[in-house]
Structure 1
């Protein structure tokens, strides 16, 4: 299973990756530091899931989500962000994201999302 983490914070990347690896030991985890690199990596590795931060330089997470969905309508995207505005969540839901997780990404949140991933029959 391939997982892409797109976040401009190296600290957040490491936290998310370490917690996912505890739950999904066989996962191959890739990183991108901004939306530009995230789109490029998404297209080159075709991950099973992508974790996307919203507040990033160059291309924002929201714009990245629209670009990924244009490229791959079936993309499985999980937003991990400190931006918890209701209007943002509602707008992102219209893109068909899998989940919206408020930062900080914790062990409990990791377990819940990894259970969801494990139960996905299309992976």
Structure 2
């Protein structure tokens, strides 16, 4: 399984990657530092699951969700963000996110994500 983590924090990329690896040891993990790089990597690797932060330079997470859905309507995307506003969550769902998980992330939230997306 291929996982793409799109977050401008290297620390968050590492933490999320390690937590996913605990649950799925043979996981291939790819990271992108902003939405623009995330879209490029998505197009190259076609991940099974994409984790998206919302607040990033060059292209926001919301813009990334829209761009990915435009090229792959079956994309499995989950937002992991510190933003807890209901209107923000609803916009993410409207753009194709399957789940919206609040930071910080932990192993239980990883398992919840995988359950929601059917993995």
Q: Give CA-to-partner distance per residue, 1:47-98, whole Å, 9 cap, x none.
A: 0000000000010000010001001111100100011111011111112311
Asked whether 1:53 is paired with 2:53, we answer: yes
Counterpart residue number, 1:65: 65
- Contact 1:20/1:114, CA 8 A, preserved across alignment: no
Counterpart residue number, 2:110: 110
CA distance in 2 between partners of 1:46 and 1:4 (Å): 9
Please identify runs of 4+ aligned residues in structure 1 that moved more than 3 A.
none
Structure 1 residue runs of 5 or longer lacking an equivalent are: none
Asked whether 1:26 is paired with 2:12, we answer: no
TM-score under structure 1 normalisation? 0.92
Counterpart residue number, 1:13: 13
Deviation at residue 112 of structure 1 after TM alignment: 1.7
Q: Secondary structure at the match of 2:97?
A: coil
Structure 2 residue runs of 5 or longer lacking an equivalent are: none
- Contact 1:49/1:76, CA 8 A, preserved across alignment: yes
Deviation at residue 24 of structure 1 after TM alignment: 0.7
TM-score under structure 2 normalisation? 0.95
- Give the aligned CA root-mean-square deviation in angstroms: 1.1
Tell me the matched-pair count: 119
- Contact 2:78/2:98, CA 8 A, preserved across alignment: yes
CA distance in 1 between partners of 2:113 and 2:52 (Å): 14
